[in-house]
Chains A and B, each alone.
Chain A
Amino acid sequence: MRIANKTVTATRLVKDALAKAKHFEDYNIFTALYEERALKKAAEIDEKIKNGESVGKLAGAPFAAKDNFLTAGDETTASAHILSGFVSPITATSVAKLEAEGAILIGHTNCDAFAHGSSTENSYYGPTLNAHDKTRVAGGSSGGSAVAVALDIVEFATGSDTGGSIRQPASFNGIYGLKPTYGCVSRYGVVAMASSTDCIGFFTRTPEDMDLVMSIASGKDEKDMTSLPDYYNADDTRGGVVDTACPSDTLQAALAKSSCSAEPIVSATPPLRIGIIKDFDNDVVDAEIRGALKKKCELLKSKGHEIVELEMPSLKYALAAYYIIQPAEVASNLSRHDGIRYGFRSEKSKNLDDLYGNTRSEGFMPENKRRIMIGNFVLSSGFYDAYFLKAAKTRTLIVKEYEEAFKKCDFILTPVSPNPAFKLGEKVNDPVAMYLEDLMSVPANLAGVPGLAIPAGETANGLSLGLQLVGPRRSDRALIEFAKELQDE
């Protein structure tokens, strides 16, 4: 991480970042740049350094925030038309914590509208291009943030991961992307997608940077009742931390049954037992990705670690359960966008029902509408038990299956997505193909466990390959530590 000091000024870092942002304009990474403010903040930090005053751990480090992170005084739209013109009066807790340590926000990054998508093609502002192949997608939904980090424009960027929205674009662009344990980083001030699986996380180019950013951003936030006490920075992460929120607990089916409390945190001392999931080793997954996984396993073995094959039969239902629970919460969370109080309002309307109908018809993207319809369907009376409740029960099984798996191994290593970055337009009109992108990333969201996307080489034609490490709840720091070991090949 480049931070300002006696030799490099914050102004230099911010100017470079802004210049690069402009240089890569054709990638459509940013939805807004805050040039003037960023330079002003940089000057303030430089002044402090000059006067020998203390500056934060991220002093002068330029960063970007996904367009669904609210920042006071800025238009934040989650790349959705319906939020056009909405200026937030508050700043997201995660952003505020990073800024308090001297990090400088230079802009908001493009994403699928309301984070609905796996390619950043569903943005009202158009798609972001892949960092390594401009004919391909950036991945998504946090595509802009991933490319901003991959192209070295910023030191790190924020993202949100509801079903893979950090890990998949990280792997498509060859960088690190962490979806922390559910509740590790406050969700306050981030436009909600599906509240029970939304996780705030980050993109960095090294595991060390990830550790630094996480040590600052994690911890209990009074404004988010599902946030966890700060275990990330605790010296003894084994005891004392009581879970206040367990994702399965948000579901009726899992009432008081699931043992969400006090799971042991793995120590990173070898030999570790690394689980691989047999069900994910099939033709659905691209051969080169499977090759990369095998290669990593060989590396692990050569370092004295043990590879454990896992049977996790419920995971094949994870995607189906996810595409019931997530649209249900999406439909609910998007209800507030009604054209009454803020954002876009259709002017055509003659009465209240028209106002709702027209505003939402014109303001939402097709994918938003698809999820609203699915979500309302699975929640409607007569269908709730057959869909939502069944999905919730499936989720409980998945939570338990992870608990069992982590008795047999310390971490699980899997692909992130079935394929490397695909062509622009290739899947955008085939929602099911797009949903399949999430096949191997959603189980971690349903279970609330952390997942870290790590770079794993390239394909023959130069596309980034990524794998993900999944650990037990609250093993985030150990996961990052372990990733350090995996980077030297």
Chain B
Amino acid sequence: MKYIPTIGIECHVQLCTKTKLFSEVDNDARGKEPNSCVSPVDYALPGMLPRLNGEAVRLAVLAGRAMNCEINAYSRFDRKHYFYPDSPKGYQITQFYHPIIGAGYVELPSGTKVRIEHAHLEGDAGKLTHFDNYSLVDLNRVDTPLIEIVSMPDIHSAKDAHDYCKELWRLMRYAGVTYGDLYNGNMRFDVNTSVAPEGSEKLGTRTEVKNLNSFKSVERAVEYEIARQTKVLESGEKVIQQTLGWSDATGKTSPQRSKEVAADYRYMPEPDLPPIRLSNEFIEAESAKLPSMPADYRKKFAAVIAGDVLEVLLDYPELMKRLDKLDEEYIKTIANLFASVLLAEEKSAEYLNDLPTVAELTELAEMNKKKELSSTATKEVFLRLFDPQMKGRGAKTIAKELGLIQENDLGALEAIVDVVLAKPETKKAQEDFRNGEEKVIGFLVGQVMRESHGKANPSVVQEILRKKLA
């Protein structure tokens, strides 16, 4: 029997606001002492009241629009109760009944559409570190603004699960709502997987793998779960609904400490925060600020940039903005240069933090077009555009300094060719060529290149040689 997997994904995105969701404390705790970014509100002293950060609301609107979602003009907060030291208030402030972001969809590169059920604003929890007989609490992350994006169960393969998470990551970064640093947990994925026999109307029992923070682990965990659950069903047993953890090291999922009773969060409307009411004007004005999205670029550049190259480049929103500003005739050249750097040179994303200007890139592409630079030289100059020591000098200056400009001047090249043809050591080759030995032309071109110290344009040289030896 064939089994069809069904996958739904919840994704937490940390918003890159300056301050926290409900207090004025610094939201960016990277590299800071534990418990140094905590206000009396975050610490949940008695008598403290949350103050909603308007910027978080604005970013939520952008995030929602990036996923083609409805933005709800009316939304409000609720309290989700649980006792754990990572939650100083004893509840998380979230949006259970009236989320800010309504239904929408994300389109994967393959064209598959994954519907978004809703997304809501909420505060993050603190962090616990466990030791042998004690645990330490760091509240720096408490009430960092999050949006939780809940997908519909529209995904049916590990590859699509991977692509969905990656596309979300791109969308959130294009919309500018998160730093998108996966290693530091800026985006985290909870993946629900079930399998059911083909043709079955009911979905199978699902498991939830929590807290994945890379696309690769999402893909591997889903692959593993599909295989595991299929095997369980094939052996006539039942899949147990449970929460699982994933280990990259073992490549396996394993049950997390199971709660004997289902958690009852005792949701209650948050009485300390008035509802959020957004005007249409606000929603429209903010939506208009959204830059081009990956889907826009796919449409726009379909004829110009090869699909696989484009998918590599799409991970870098700033890079795409740069490409978009170039003259159309140069886009392909520059896109390929970026792709070769990212793929072959294995340069990290940081390498692209400080991109060359549109003017510099245009200059480089022009030189390439005019054949002033060979393809190797073009790449060489391109790399130098990122070099801190050469930054800002421009492609032409760099090319000159490195002596990479090709000699295209016919008169000058003819003179060099004449010098080479006058040399006794080339006489034999000239004769052989005249006698029809086509491949010696390469030797002669090489001699001319040497004479020109590599600056001659080899195809022009060949043309001259052919004319002279005819």
With A86-B46, A376-B266 as given contacts, are A335 and B272 in contact (CB-CB < 8 Å)? no
Cβ–Cβ < 8 Å partners of B290 in chain A: none
Q: Which of A191, A244, A255, A329 contacts B74 (CB 8 A)?
A: A255
Cβ–Cβ < 8 Å partners of A332 in chain B: 79, 81, 90-91, 266, 268
A392 to B270, CA, bound (A): 13
Query: Which interface residue of B50, B90, B264, B275 has the most chain A CB atoms within 10 A?
Result: B90
Contact of B267 with A341 in the complex, beta carbons under 8 Å: no
CB-based nearest B residue for A243: B274
A251 to B81, CA, bound (A): 18
Question: Chain B nearest CB: distance from A480 CB in Å?
Answer: 26
- Residues 153 to 210 of chain A near chain B (Cβ within 8 Å): 187-192, 194-196
Question: Chain A nearest CB: distance from B166 CB in Å?
Answer: 35
Cβ–Cβ < 8 Å partners of B446 in chain A: none
Contact of B274 with A245 in the complex, beta carbons under 8 Å: yes
CB-based nearest A residue for B262: A381
Contact of B271 with A225 in the complex, beta carbons under 8 Å: no
The contact string, 1 if C-beta is below 8 Å from chain A, for chain B 52-94, is 1000000000000000000000100001010101001111000
Question: Chain A nearest CB: distance from B279 CB in Å?
Answer: 14
A338 to B274, CA, bound (A): 27
Cβ–Cβ < 8 Å partners of A342 in chain B: 45
Question: Chain B nearest CB: distance from A337 CB in Å?
Answer: 8
A223 to B23, CA, bound (A): 9
Instruction: Count A/B pairs, Cβ under 8 Å.
Output: 112
Pick from A1-9, A87-95, A123-131, A281-289 the stretch touching chain B: A87-95
A225 to B22, CA, bound (A): 11
Q: Is B51 part of the contact surface with A, judged by Cβ < 8 Å?
A: yes
The contact string, 1 if C-beta is below 8 Å from chain B, for chain A 343-384, is 000000000100010000000000000000000100111001
With A191-B46, A249-B274, A329-B271 as given contacts, are A225 and B51 in contact (CB-CB < 8 Å)? yes
Cβ–Cβ < 8 Å partners of B179 in chain A: none
The contact string, 1 if C-beta is below 8 Å from chain A, for chain B 89-109, is 111000001100000000000
A245 to B270, CA, bound (A): 12
Cβ–Cβ < 8 Å partners of B264 in chain A: 380-381
Contact of B271 with A336 in the complex, beta carbons under 8 Å: no
Contact of A70 with B49 in the complex, beta carbons under 8 Å: no
Q: Is B441 part of the contact surface with A, judged by Cβ < 8 Å?
A: no
With A225-B51, A335-B89 as given contacts, are A341 and B266 in contact (CB-CB < 8 Å)? no
Contact of A338 with B90 in the complex, beta carbons under 8 Å: yes
A342 to B48, CA, bound (A): 14
Cβ–Cβ < 8 Å partners of A78 in chain B: 46
Q: Is A485 part of the contact surface with B, judged by Cβ < 8 Å?
A: no
Q: Is B40 part of the contact surface with A, judged by Cβ < 8 Å?
A: yes
- Residues 6 to 54 of chain B near chain A (Cβ within 8 Å): 40, 43-52
Q: Is A256 part of the contact surface with B, judged by Cβ < 8 Å?
A: yes
Q: How many residues of A contact B (CB 8 A)?
A: 53
A92 to B49, CA, bound (A): 11
Q: Is B137 part of the contact surface with A, judged by Cβ < 8 Å?
A: yes
Contact of B47 with A335 in the complex, beta carbons under 8 Å: no
Q: Which of B47, B74, B88 contacts A341 (CB 8 A)?
A: B88
Q: Is A224 part of the contact surface with B, judged by Cβ < 8 Å?
A: yes
With A225-B52, A335-B91, A340-B137 as given contacts, are A70 and B79 in contact (CB-CB < 8 Å)? no
Contact of A188 with B49 in the complex, beta carbons under 8 Å: yes
Q: Is B269 part of the contact surface with A, judged by Cβ < 8 Å?
A: yes
Contact of A328 with B268 in the complex, beta carbons under 8 Å: yes
Q: Is A250 part of the contact surface with B, judged by Cβ < 8 Å?
A: yes
Q: Is B273 part of the contact surface with A, judged by Cβ < 8 Å?
A: yes
Q: Which of A89, A250, A255, A338 contacts B45 (CB 8 A)?
A: A89
- Residues 267 to 289 of chain B near chain A (Cβ within 8 Å): 267-275
A195 to B46, CA, bound (A): 12
A89 to B41, CA, bound (A): 12
Contact of A335 with B275 in the complex, beta carbons under 8 Å: no
Question: Chain A nearest CB: distance from B409 CB in Å?
Answer: 72
Cβ–Cβ < 8 Å partners of B49 in chain A: 187-188, 223-226
Question: Chain B nearest CB: distance from A350 CB in Å?
Answer: 10
The contact string, 1 if C-beta is below 8 Å from chain A, for chain B 291-320, is 000000000000000000000000000000
CB-based nearest A residue for B79: A332
Q: Which of B85, B267, B271 contacts A196 (CB 8 A)?
A: B271
Cβ–Cβ < 8 Å partners of B272 in chain A: 192, 195, 225-226
Question: Chain A nearest CB: distance from B216 CB in Å?
Answer: 34
Contact of A338 with B83 in the complex, beta carbons under 8 Å: yes
Cβ–Cβ < 8 Å partners of A245 in chain B: 274
Contact of A251 with B85 in the complex, beta carbons under 8 Å: no
Q: Which of B74, B97, B274 contacts A225 (CB 8 A)?
A: B274
Cβ–Cβ < 8 Å partners of A381 in chain B: 264-266
- Residues 247 to 271 of chain B near chain A (Cβ within 8 Å): 264-271
Q: Is A252 part of the contact surface with B, judged by Cβ < 8 Å?
A: yes
A250 to B275, CA, bound (A): 8
Contact of A195 with B47 in the complex, beta carbons under 8 Å: no
Cβ–Cβ < 8 Å partners of B48 in chain A: 188-189
Contact of A329 with B46 in the complex, beta carbons under 8 Å: no
Contact of A188 with B274 in the complex, beta carbons under 8 Å: no
Contact of B74 with A256 in the complex, beta carbons under 8 Å: yes
Cβ–Cβ < 8 Å partners of B89 in chain A: 335-336
A432 to B374, CA, bound (A): 92
**Other 20 A-B pairs with CB < 8 A, given A90-B40, A381-B264:** A78-B46, A92-B47, A188-B48, A189-B47, A190-B47, A191-B46, A191-B47, A223-B51, A224-B49, A250-B271, A251-B269, A252-B97, A328-B268, A332-B91, A335-B83, A336-B89, A340-B88, A340-B137, A381-B265, A384-B266
Q: Which residues of B contact A (CB under 8 A)?
A: 40, 43-52, 74, 79, 81, 83, 85, 88-91, 97-98, 137, 264-275
18 CB-based A-B contacts, threshold 8 Å = A70-B45, A187-B47, A188-B48, A192-B46, A192-B47, A223-B49, A225-B272, A226-B272, A226-B274, A255-B74, A332-B79, A332-B81, A332-B266, A335-B81, A335-B89, A336-B44, A336-B88, A338-B90
Q: Would you list the 5 A-B pairs with minimal beta carbon distance, nearest first? A: A335-B90, A195-B271, A379-B266, A196-B271, A191-B46
